[in-house]
Amino acid sequence: MQLNEMEMKKLLDQGMLTRSIIENETAMKKCALYSEMAKDPSVKGFFKDQAKGLEDVIGYFKKGINEIQ
């Protein structure tokens, strides 16, 4: 099967976005875990904010995948 350049670019873009989603989901879960483990309220708040920010990033990447498809 031979792919033209546009199909190849689309496939590579999907792979890159999928990888980014997986990496950010992992980081978000780690932040949530660190937030639960933290005893200091400021540290706990920091990791909660980071998890929320990563949630927004994941949404952005998912939107990108939907646009490609």
Q: Tens digit of pLDDT for each residue in 24-41?
A: 999 999 999 999 999 999
Do residues 31 and 51 touch, judged by C-beta distance below 8 A?
yes
Q: Is the pLDDT of residue 1 over 70?
A: no
pTM of the model: 0.83
Render pLDDT for 11-21 as a digit per residue (tens, 0 to 9).
899 999 999 99
User: What span, in angstroms and rounded, lies between the C-alpha atoms of 23 and 18?
Assistant: 9
6 sits in which H/E element: helix 5-37
Mean residue pLDDT of the chain comes to 93
User: What span, in angstroms and rounded, lies between the C-alpha atoms of 40 and 32?
Assistant: 14
Q: Is the pLDDT of residue 3 over 80?
A: no
55 three-state secondary structure: helix
